[in-house]
Amino acid sequence: RMDAAGLSGFTGWIAGTMNGLLDTVATPIEETSRVMQAVAVGDLGSQVTGSYQGEFARLAEAVNASVLALRET
């Protein structure tokens, strides 16, 4: 993340935009990681519950489908 404190104009805009992009990417990855860490220790009760778009939505669907398939075995 960029420290946007004291930045203004174009530099401030770039810092804010980059931080927003990082937040957008980090949230679904963190949630997917949380679910997969639970699966790794045998906890099949977790799911990705966030509402995502594009590739992040496909990733969430794949993780949830995998957890469901493991529950049914």
Question: Looking at the predicted structure, is the pLDDT value of residue 5 above 90?
Answer: no
Average pLDDT, integer, range 9-35: 93
Q: Which two tokens stand for residue 29?
A: 């990855």
Own/partner pairs for 22-30, CB < 8 Å, 24+ apart?
Answer: 28/52, 28/56, 28/59, 28/60
Comparison of pLDDT for 8 and 59, the residue scoring more:
59
Reported as a single tens digit per residue, the pLDDT across 29-68 is: 999 999 999 999 999 999 999 999 999 999 999 999 999 9
Q: Is the dihedral of CA 60, 66, 70, 73 positive or negative?
A: positive
Whole-model pTM over 0.85: no
4 pLDDT band, cuts 50/70/90, is confident
Q: Given this model, what pLDDT does residue 2 score? A: 82
Q: DSSP E strands: which ranges in 27-69?
A: none
